[in-house]
Structure 1
Amino acid sequence: MERVNELKAVRKESIRSDWKVGAASILNALEKISLRVNQFLAVIAGLAMLLIALLIVANVIIRVFYVPIPGVGEISGWLSAITAAFALGYTQIHRGHVDIDVILEKFPARIRGPIQGLMLFISMLFFGLISYRLAIYAYETMKSGGLSETLAVIYYPYIYLLAIGFFGLALSLLTDSLKYLIRRDRR
């Protein structure tokens, strides 16, 4: 009977170990995907920022000799939104956001960790919901045929791009949450 109990304990520990190994490998894969997606989005954000600078400089130069480029404010506004949204996930991965944890520091370390993990998870849900709602809004704008005010062009693709940017942030927050749960990482 004693031997049976030992075998059960070994099997139980083996299952627990197998679960941790499997979860860790899934987390590593998710981490790589999140990093690649957000690096790609960050490159696009950088290109959008460069395009804004070139557009504004070209507008200033052309304004001296001719009339300004129509819709520069509208185009630079769209590109600025894309720049900001596409950089969010990359910034989260590299801990570039301002982290205000004055209240959190007052808690004991054993409580601080779970609260921080919960905050990451809630943030992931929030930004995932923003991404989802932006996609719905883009679809509704596409169906209604909405046009921009100055240039009178369709603008729903830009809303879809914003949804993609917030999805990148939600993906990086999901990865951070799982890192906390599986590896017990601390920020």
Structure 2
Amino acid sequence: MLAVHARYRGREVRRAQLVRRSAEALSTLPGVGTFDILGVEDICAVVDSPESLCDTVMALLSDGNWAIGIGIAPGSPAEADTRATATGALTGAARAGTVKVAHATRRNASLSGDIAAVFALLGHVLGKRTLEGREATSLVRSGLNQNEAAEELGISKQAMSQRLQAAGWQAETAGWQLAVHLLTRADAGEVT
């Protein structure tokens, strides 16, 4: 079982409202359970799959104002245990853009470190993206091909290709697939 715990680290004056709206929006992602609001800055939810977890973490990293804890509890039927593992991954001093990973059995530190490293790299790619790059990758991620996305933006296919390249789309795709693979191994209880 997988869970994500996120702590808002931005400077928004109306934090509670922003955190509540973020929790509501993230809960609409496929495979993501309802985000519980834990205090003013913290939210936590169980997710159905490594893919759903990656999508959630990527959304939080794209915003740039969240510290993220991932909890992995293979074979655990108790959502509370998985949520507690995610919460335990997130230390009080966690900075925005960081991803910490905790495995319930504590015997998978190497794999947990690899997962955190992949998300650190993905966070770097996402943080360098321009508004145009965000628009382009968002359309392709939603299922449009490059021609359809270019048409939607009113640009040529060549310009769309250039935007995707400048936005690091290939690196994002490769990193996302690696993160899913590592999370699948960790959730299956594989020890490295």
Q: Larger radius of gyration, structure 1 or 2?
A: 1
Give 1 or 2: higher helix fraction.
1
Give 1 or 2: higher strand fraction.
2
For normalisation by structure 2, the TM-score amounts to 0.28
Indicate the structure whose relative CO is greater, using CA pairs within 8 Å and at least 6 residues apart. 1
For normalisation by structure 1, the TM-score amounts to 0.28
